[in-house]
């Protein structure tokens, strides 16, 4: 995207963010239910994460860029591209400070909203995980208190909360397993391997260090490439449907 003007890059930034929003919000807008859209907790968390990340990265890369306006511009484009798993870049963010790259790695994990074109673990699941953690902490302090998890004013079914926790467990196990496989390659840093797994699993595109925007995955072994290919499939098709597809019991029933 370097060949595009700053204006066009800003336009792309806005639309990347818009297409990371849950499409149900646009349906509510068509029905003129503005209040429900503004009260949507997933949308508010999604936008809060984006603007907080842009602000922190812009301040962090300011000494390199020199101008806060330019730093904000590149930070906004990169944050929008990473969290919506679009895969574009206006510059080599691999040269940014460690803090900025840590923020980008976190955004790779979070991803966009549920019901959007983006990948990642999804903001809705992150929201449920935080609310579940808060409820568990309250139950430790008040064991006799019964507290349900509410999202957008509605009580969440405990099955949904359980499935979210199981999804996170499967997610972490796959990331660790893939990271160990990639670690068999000599000459790759930990940063390269973990970001390679994260960007493939979440369908980001470029990673960090040796798999950054100015590099590629060609130096990895065939085993690593197969692993990353499976990660991309698991990330795009969702974990449980793919695991069910390869389950022996599924084919026995058929």
Q: Report CA-CA distances (Å) from 75 to 13, 98, 174, 229, 238.
A: 10, 14, 30, 29, 29
pLDDT of residue 144: 78
- Supply the pTM of this predicted model: 0.90
In eight-state DSSP terms, residue 210 is: G
Query: Once rounded to an integer, what is the mean pLDDT over residues 198-209?
Result: 91
Whose tokens are 């591209």? That residue is 81
Q: Residue 186 — pLDDT band, cuts 50, 70, 90?
A: confident
Q: Residue 187 — pLDDT band, cuts 50, 70, 90?
A: confident
Query: Once rounded to an integer, what is the mean pLDDT over residues 43-55?
Result: 96
pLDDT of residue 1: 64
With a cut of 90, say whether residue 140 has pLDDT above it.
no
Total residues found in the chain within this entry: 254
Query: Once rounded to an integer, what is the mean pLDDT over residues 34-52?
Result: 94
Query: Once rounded to an integer, what is the mean pLDDT over residues 134-146?
Result: 82
pLDDT of residue 14: 96
Q: Residue 253 — pLDDT band, cuts 50, 70, 90?
A: low
| Averaged pLDDT score across all residues of the chain | 90
Q: 18-44 burial by CB neighbour count: b if 16+ within 10 A, else e? A: ebbbbebbeebeeeeeeeebeebebbe
With a cut of 70, say whether residue 146 has pLDDT above it.
yes
With a cut of 60, say whether residue 254 has pLDDT above it.
no
pLDDT digits (tens, 9 = 90+) for 160-170: 889 999 999 99
CB 77 within 8 A of CB 12: yes
Who has greater pLDDT, 252 or 213? 213
pLDDT digits (tens, 9 = 90+) for 75-134: 999 999 999 999 888 889 999 999 999 999 999 999 999 988 888 899 999 999 999 998
């Amino acid at each position: 995207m370097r060949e595009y003007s700053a204006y066009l890059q800003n336009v792309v930034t806005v639309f990347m963010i818009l297409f990371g929003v849950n499409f149900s919000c646009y349906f509510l807008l068509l029905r003129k239910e503005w209040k429900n859209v503004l009260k949507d907790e997933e949308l508010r968390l999604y936008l809060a994460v984006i603007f907080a990340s842009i602000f922190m990265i812009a301040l962090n890369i300011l000494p390199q860029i020199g101008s806060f306006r330019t730093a904000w511009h590149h930070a906004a484009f990169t944050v929008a591209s990473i969290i919506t798993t679009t895969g574009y870049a206006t510059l080599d963010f691999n040269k940014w400070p460690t803090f900025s790259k840590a923020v980008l790695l976190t955004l790779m994990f979070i991803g966009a909203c549920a019901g959007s074109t983006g990948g990642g673990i999804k903001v809705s699941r992150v929201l449920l995980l935080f609310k579940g953690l808060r409820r568990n902490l309250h139950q430790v302090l008040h064991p006799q208190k019964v507290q349900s998890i509410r999202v957008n004013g509605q009580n969440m079914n405990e099955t949904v909360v359980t499935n979210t926790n199981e999804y996170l467990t499967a997610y972490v196990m796959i990331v660790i397993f893939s990271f160990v496989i990639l670690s068999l390659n000599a000459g790759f840093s930990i940063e390269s391997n973990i970001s390679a797994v994260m960007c493939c699993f979440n369908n980001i595109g470029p990673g960090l260090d040796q798999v950054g925007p100015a590099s590629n995955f060609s130096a990895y072994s065939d085993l690593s490439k197969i692993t990353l290919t499976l990660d991309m499939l698991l990330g795009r098709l969702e974990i449980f449907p793919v695991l069910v597809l390869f389950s022996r019991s599924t084919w026995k029933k058929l």
